[in-house]
Amino acid sequence: MRAVALTTEQAQDALGGLVHAATREDEQRGRGAFAAAAWSSIAEPGDGVAGHLVRSLGAWEALEFVRGAHTDDLLDPTGPGGQALRAGLARWRPRLGVETLLEIFPAARRSGIRLLVPGDAQWPESLEDLGVHAPHCLWVRGVPDTLQRRPSVAIVGARAATAYGEHVAMEFAADLAGSGVAIVSGAAYGIDGSAHRAALAAGGPTVAVLAGGVDRPYPTGHSHLLDRIAATGAAVSEVPCGAAPTKWRFLQRNRLIAALADATVVVEAGWRSGSLNTAGHAAALGRPLGAVPGPVTSAASAGCHRLLREFDARCVTTPDDVRELFGALMPAEGRTGDAETDDHTRILDALSVRVPRSAEDIARRAGMARGEVEALLALIELEGKTSRGPDGWRRVVPR
């Protein structure tokens, strides 16, 4: 195993043109950015012990600590934190020697991929809600500004979507993206792909969050779609170039989708769909969660109904329902179903279209007092729903 031993200068060189100009001006930040990238290589996504260490010491210092420089100074092997750290070192150290960290950067540079780290102007602050589970950095293919677009909505769902689900995903994404809402999704087949495509067609911003390196289009069938996303939006990942999209990374990727979006909407999902994992992350982050209902006879909607039942997701049926989720639209005024259960209705019931009736007759039929009936008949006449003739009142049928 070849251990990493880098000077600040070597780190700066390695970074090359990758780190955004604003951060390169500052040597300290450049070194930190290199270390953040290294952490994205040696710790699996969502590793809270790594996150805690980096937050406590800084990325560079935490990396040096892993290299063993100061183990004795910092590690209290008797405490519970010390035990977690020891387990962490056992996870991270085997990777320090295998992946040649310096090779990550040239690979990224060749593919035109940028590195964003916390503190960069374009770093999406919403990721900080993940606490120690926040990513160390983001590898961005495309336009980093897209990550700053607000409001943003995650539209996710089953790969095995139905025509209904894809239709709804497209309707929602096109409408929202058309009004400037950024559409975040996972670039998978089915719902994800429909959402990205509709956002692009609407000329709106869209972000694809990948489980593997952004230089490895996944699924490969969406290679062209990812090219198009990168042209005007962004494809991002927290794992470095070349990293494989493992099942674990897919599940952790879902927390990034939830954290990057102001609200998450699941369009179709089977009973055990990975989209429910994204929904769970949104709920855990306290972000609004919506689910699109579908036929109870459709297995592709079972997960959405489960979200409505078990996760208190909001039932969303229109793009405006989604806007309500993130507060861009106030809920429509509640209108009860019995708005017409009034004396008005009782009088209309008592009127005949053909036979003219006296107010007294109408009062008896409606079960109301004659005085009330006469007052209301005058109003109903004004509305054009009744007419008075020499023999009494008749109902007027609207044309």
CA distance 264 to 277: 11
Reduced to 3 DSSP states, what percent helix, strand and coil does the chain have, rounded to the nearest 5?
50, 10, 40
Task: Report whether 369 contacts 343 (CB < 8 A).
Answer: no
Q: Which residues contact 110 (CB under 8 A, 6 or more apart)?
A: none
Among 317, 355, 375, 388, binds a copy of itself (CB under 8 A): 317
Q: Which residues pair with 209 in a beta bridge?
A: 236
Cβ-based nearer residue to a copy of itself, 25 or 340 = 340
Among 136, 216, 346, 357, binds a copy of itself (CB under 8 A): 346
Instruction: Show the tokens assigned to 355.
Output: 């036979």
What's 268's DSSP letter? -
Whose structure tokens read 């003739």?
389
Among 77, 106, 119, 371, binds a copy of itself (CB under 8 A): 371
Instruction: Show the tokens assigned to 60.
Output: 């560079």
Q: Which stretch binds a copy of itself (CB under 8 A): 5-13, 160-168, 190-198, 226-234?
A: 160-168
Among 15, 36, 43, 173, binds a copy of itself (CB under 8 A): 43
Q: Tell me the angle at which helices 59-67 and 27-42 cross, rounded to the nearest 10 degrees.
A: 50
Among 16, 179, 367, 391, binds a copy of itself (CB under 8 A): 367
Cβ 222 to a copy of itself, closest distance in Å?
21
Counting every residue written for the chain, the total comes to 399
184 scored as a contact of a copy of itself (CB under 8 A): no
Among 159, 228, 370, 385, binds a copy of itself (CB under 8 A): 370
Among 310, 354, 397, 398, binds a copy of itself (CB under 8 A): 310
How many residues of this chain bind a copy of itself (CB under 8 A)?
Answer: 68
Among 48, 58, 178, 293, binds a copy of itself (CB under 8 A): 293
Among 21, 296, 330, 382, binds a copy of itself (CB under 8 A): 296
Cβ 60 to a copy of itself, closest distance in Å?
20
Write out the DSSP string of 336-361: -TTTT-SHHHHHHHH--SSS-B-HHH
295 scored as a contact of a copy of itself (CB under 8 A): yes
Among 309, 358, 375, 383, binds a copy of itself (CB under 8 A): 309
Task: Report whether 136 contacts 168 (CB < 8 A).
Answer: no
Cβ neighbour number for residue 220 with a 10 Å cutoff: 8
Sign (positive/negative) of CA torsion 259, 260, 265, 269?
negative
Cβ-based nearer residue to a copy of itself, 231 or 244 = 244
Q: What angle do CA 322, 325, 327 make, to 5 degrees?
A: 115
Window 97-136: contact mask with a copy of itself (x via CB under 8 A): -x--------------------------------------
Cβ 284 to a copy of itself, closest distance in Å?
10
Cβ-based nearer residue to a copy of itself, 22 or 379 = 379
90 scored as a contact of a copy of itself (CB under 8 A): yes
Map the footprint of a copy of itself across residues 232-291, applying CB under 8 A. 246-249, 251-252, 272-277, 279-280
Distances (CA, A) of 360 to 85, 278, 346, 371: 89, 66, 14, 9
Distances (CA, A) of 224 to 218, 235, 395, 399: 10, 12, 65, 55
Torsion angle, alpha carbons of 174, 187, 301, 150, to 10: -50
CA distance 375 to 369: 10
Cβ-based nearer residue to a copy of itself, 7 or 297 = 297
Residues within the interface to a copy of itself (CB under 8 A): 42-44, 47, 87, 90-92, 94-95, 98, 164, 167-168, 246-249, 251-252, 272-277, 279-280, 292-297, 301-303, 305, 308-310, 314-315, 317-318, 321, 331, 334, 336-338, 340-341, 345-346, 348-350, 360, 363-364, 366-372
